[in-house]
Amino acid sequence: MAVDRKQLLLGGLAVAVVLAVVWMMRPAAPTPAGVVAPPSRARDLRAGNAQPAGEVGPVKLASLNTSAPAPGEAARNPFRFQPRVVAPPPRPEGTAPVAEAPRQPPAPPVPPPVPPIPLKFIGVLERANGVKWAVLTDGKSPTPLYGRDGDIIDGRYVIVKIGVESVEMTHADGRGRQVIRLTGQ
């Protein structure tokens, strides 16, 4: 049974990959318990330690037996969610109290802006008697909207004036006058 050279190369490559993975996954050599690497003298000098590396300072056992102070009444409760009350600074003696400026009432709220009229002016029809009709569309319905000067369109808008290339419209309640140019679309 003859072994193909290509199969031998692929098998050897597979073994090499497995060995490389095992080598990378192996744990580092364990250090014996209690063995600590000696500190570097240069690191100690940079940190400002004046003691030589081998000497250890005295152990203060008495400080281990002291207890922490008992909790007292806190001046501020962080769960209260109220701002901290700060007393006003004392006024120097012999000075008159400063009168506060009278407060002005808040300004009335600004009304929201008038929404634009969402119609497109697509043409003008002029009858033989000289009456102009504006042709408008809202872009949604397939049928166009028609109207003369003073007519209410779509129950919400009034045609104020029909020009050659524009129509002037307003909302039915008289607010928001807008000029719509002829777009042809």
pTM: 0.42
| Residue 14: predicted pLDDT | 95
Tens digit of pLDDT for each residue in 137-151? 988 888 999 999 999
Check if the beta carbon of residue 177 is closer than 8 Å to that of residue 170. yes
3-state secondary structure of 115: coil
Confidence class for position 13, pLDDT limits 50, 70, 90? very high
Q: Shortest CA distance to 172 belongs to which of 151, 149, 142? A: 151
**Residue 82 identity:** Q
Q: Report whether pLDDT(100) > 80.
A: no
Can you name the residues that pair with 120 across neighbouring β-strands? 137
Q: How confident is the model at residue 132 (pLDDT cuts 50, 70, 90)?
A: very high
Residue 102 confidence (pLDDT) above 90: no
136 DSSP β-pair partners? 121, 145
**What pLDDT score was predicted for residue 175?**
86
Structure-model confidence comparison of residues 43 and 83, the more confident one? 83
Query: pLDDT category, 169, cuts 50, 70, 90?
Result: very high
Predicted pLDDT at 37: 55
Q: Which tokens in the block code for residue 21?
A: 């993975």
Q: What is the pLDDT of residue 69?
A: 63
Measure CA 103 to chain center: 35
| pLDDT at site 31 | 58
Query: Rounded to 5 degrees, what angle do the CA atoms 107, 113, 114 make?
Result: 135
Per-residue model confidence (pLDDT) at position 16: 95
Is 60 exceeded by the pLDDT of residue 47?
A: no
